[in-house]
Structure 1
Amino acid sequence: MKPQNPSALHILAFVYLTFSHVTDGELSHEEIDTIARVLHGWLPDATNEQISHVLVETAAWVNGIGSDEERLAQVETYAHLMKEQMSEKQRSAVLVNLIELARADGKITVTEEQLIARLTAILGLA
Structure 2
Amino acid sequence: MSGVTAGASLLDLVNFDANGLVAAVAQQHDTGDVLMLAWMNRAALEETLATGRVCYYSRSRGKLWRKGETSGQVQHLKELRVDCDGDAVLALVDQTGVACHTGRRSCFYRAARDGGVETILQVEADPESLYGSKG
- Indicate whether the TM-score tops 0.5: no
Which structure's residues are more often strand, by fraction?
Answer: 2
Give the shorter-chain TM-score range.
under 0.3
Calculate the TM-score normalised by the size of structure 2: 0.27
Query: Structure with the greater relative contact order (CA < 8 A, sep ≥ 6): 1 or 2?
Result: 1
TM-score normalised by length of structure 1: 0.28
